[in-house]
Amino acid sequence: MAVVVSGAFVTSAELAARQAQTGFSGDILEVLPWGEALHRALGVALTVLTLGLGIWTSFTASPGWLRALTWITLAPLTIAAALGWQGPPLPPSLGIVHALLAHFALSVIVAIATATSPAWNRETDQAGGGGRSSLLRLAVATPPVVFLQIALGTAYRHEVIGIMPHMGGALLVALMTLILSAVILQNSLGPAPMRRAAAALISIVLAQVCLGISSFLMLVLNAAGTFAFVLTTAGHVSIGAATLAASVVMAMQLYVWGGSK
């Protein structure tokens, strides 16, 4: 997550420099090289840690799915690191790929952490109730939609598309997560871990929407040259990554609750 946050800070500072018409803060340019260095260092550390995890799982009695997920995570991390090492600013196409690979890797790492946690491996209570298959389909469909929304936002940040597709995607993601979480929480469906996952998902999405609206208003009000704009947009990107990870955990919880573990 620290890699995503530091990368979001760098791209947000670059966005502020491009968007600001008046009053651009020189302090942002002074901090930017430190942010770039920190992002690279964290990226290298994450790649090394993931490589170590892959080697560990390959030489121990780890489940096959764990070994597969670990090496699947290492591939996008390596590509993203190679792209990021070229130094900012990246061309728009490479910048979009770099960001999406990082978001994908984070979601897989969160899935690994969830599936190897003690709570996940304890006996899961099976709850009754109708509509389970419908909820599962909605939960499984949510991560791809969130990933598409992140892609639209990344394309907008690199000035490839306008803001409207990203805003439309935000409404769809908010609606899907609201329905999914509300049904689980209002009807007390499923075990406690799944209800906690639903509460976490809707809370993260609400924070994401608020940060997105704040970023857009600051841009409209010509406040893009401020450090507050950089922090707000960096938070928006970072919480977007958390939204994807939370939606993956929510889908995993519903998959287990459906008796498919």
Q: Is the pLDDT of residue 48 over 80?
A: yes
Between 261 and 115, the more confident residue is 115
Q: Map tokens 């070229």 to a residue.
A: 86
* pLDDT above 70 coverage of the chain, percent: 88
Q: Please, which pLDDT band fits residue 20 given cuts at 50, 70 and 90?
A: low
* Neighbouring C-alpha atoms within 13 Å toward the C-beta of 237: 31
CA distances from 96 to 4, 15, 16, 100, 219 (A): 13, 13, 17, 6, 21
92 vs 29: CA distance, rounded Å: 20
Q: Mean pLDDT throughout 45-65?
A: 87
- Count other Cβ atoms within 10 Å, centred on residue 215: 23
Q: Please, which pLDDT band fits residue 28 given cuts at 50, 70 and 90?
A: low
| Burial grade of 15 (CB within 10 A; 0-12, 13-18, 19 or more) | buried
pLDDT at 14: 79
Q: Is the pLDDT of residue 123 over 60?
A: no
Q: Mean pLDDT throughout 183-188?
A: 84
Q: What is the pTM of this model?
A: 0.86
Between 219 and 143, the more confident residue is 143
pLDDT at 129: 46
Q: Please, which pLDDT band fits residue 57 given cuts at 50, 70 and 90?
A: confident
Q: Whole-number mean pLDDT of the chain?
A: 84
Q: Mean pLDDT throughout 45-73?
A: 87
CA distances from 199 to 11, 173, 183, 184, 251 (A): 30, 15, 11, 9, 13
Q: Which stretch of 15-19, 61-65, 204-208 has the lowest confidence by average pLDDT?
A: 15-19
Q: Mean pLDDT throughout 217-226?
A: 83
Q: Please, which pLDDT band fits residue 115 given cuts at 50, 70 and 90?
A: confident
pLDDT at 152: 94
Q: Mean pLDDT throughout 10-35?
A: 69
